[in-house]
Amino acid sequence: EKVIHMEIGETDFGLPAPIERHALAAIKRGYSGYTEAQGLLSLREKISGFYNESFGASVDPERVFITTGASGGLLLLTALLLNNDENLLLPDPGYPCNANYALASNANPVLVPVDSRTDFKLSPDLLSEYWCPDARGLLIGSPANPTGAVYSDRELLELNRFIEANSGFLLTDEVYQGINFHPEDWFTALNVSSEIFVINSFSKLFGMTGWRLGWIVAPPSACSDLLKLAQNFFICAPSISQHAALAAFSDETQAIIEDQADTLRERKEFLVKALRGLGFRIDAPPRGAYYVYAELPKNSIRSEEFCCRLLEEEFVAVTPGTDFGTNRSDDFVRFSFTQKLSTLSLAVERIARFLRDLN
């Protein structure tokens, strides 16, 4: 029987046609060599234009670095900002690779538990409990994986004030920007301060997961060191991907991704309601990204056993909470709503049968 994939972080929409056309033209023109280490100026200008038009934020293209996915950006920034034995604070639950970037710099990830009482968000009060002399910075996602939490500009401002007062750095991962379910959530940390490091990606919004392309916006004072690291670690981000991405901010592509965001909103509404109907607890439904982080019904088995058995018995793949941290993670699972409504509906039927058979 065909497995329904609700465990992965990529949609079923495929590549927007204008991006595909640009990619094919770039191959034909032979753009297969290295580019500037910082990335094509024309692409950095498009990104700068995007921030200006969408958020009224002024971002000099010299502050934009094109990276090998957000992953490449995260590696560059943790290498730049963390030294041996320094602490990087991270929300728990959170994107699992972040702790590993800190470890790769011989730094310590410090997991700060967050739960639905604060909509899975950190606050200065919570941070101050975990900030210590070895703490150097904070890395948050907005919209966040796995919880779909979105920080408001006021909340980001308060976090940034705390970080500045403690001479630390703030990194915000905005790779799910544009997949927002509430219009008032539309902003970027770049509007709070040009000292915040922002990470973004073509993977999620533009359906380019395999093209390995993302970007960083860095404070002016960090750009020269960042360029040295980028040159040495990567030489440059993939050339054809950069040329393809030049079409990402065109009106045609933007119309496509806006439609996709509407489709994801419908899927989110369907799935949250259906899972609640099956006894899952969802106290803070996602405000962005494409995951539901749901608490297992009280009488069910715990997270990892739930995921293994659901896959083996009903062919539905979901991700155990234990992938995202240690904060009551055994009680949670993450469902992606990256599949069609008809597929999600079939998955819900299978999950319902699985839960019935358990009891």
| Residues 260/13, Cβ–Cβ less than 8 Å | yes
Distance CA 67, CA 330 (A): 34
Compose the 95-134 pattern: x for residues touching ligand PLP by CB under 6 A, - for all others.
x---------------------------------------
Closest distance of CB 192 from ligand PLP, Å: 19
Residue 288 as a binder of ligand PLP (CB under 6 A): the answer is: no
| Residues 178/205, Cβ–Cβ less than 8 Å | yes
Distance CA 1, CA 312 (A): 10
Residue 71 as a binder of ligand PLP (CB under 6 A): the answer is: yes
Q: Residue-wise over 219-244: b if at least 16 C-beta within 10 A, else e? A: eeebbeebbebbeeebebbbbbbbbb
Q: Which lies closer to ligand PLP via its Cβ, residue 87 or residue 200? A: 200
By beta carbon distance, the residue nearest ligand PLP is: 69
| Residues 168/81, Cβ–Cβ less than 8 Å | no
Stretch near ligand PLP under the rule CB under 6 A, chosen from 64-72, 162-170, 215-223, 278-286: 64-72
Residue 343 as a binder of ligand PLP (CB under 6 A): the answer is: no
Cβ partners under 8 Å of residue 241, min gap 6: 23, 202, 208, 211, 212, 213
Distance CA 143, CA 147 (A): 8
Residue 19 as a binder of ligand PLP (CB under 6 A): the answer is: no
Residue 319 as a binder of ligand PLP (CB under 6 A): the answer is: no
- Give me the helix-helix angle, 69-81 and 97-104, nearest 10°: 40
Stretch near ligand PLP under the rule CB under 6 A, chosen from 11-19, 47-55, 66-74, 244-252: 66-74
- Near ligand PLP by CB under 6 A: residue from 38, 160, 188, 201: 201
Q: Which residues bind ligand PLP (CB under 6 A)?
A: 9, 69-71, 95, 141, 145, 173, 175, 201, 203, 209, 214
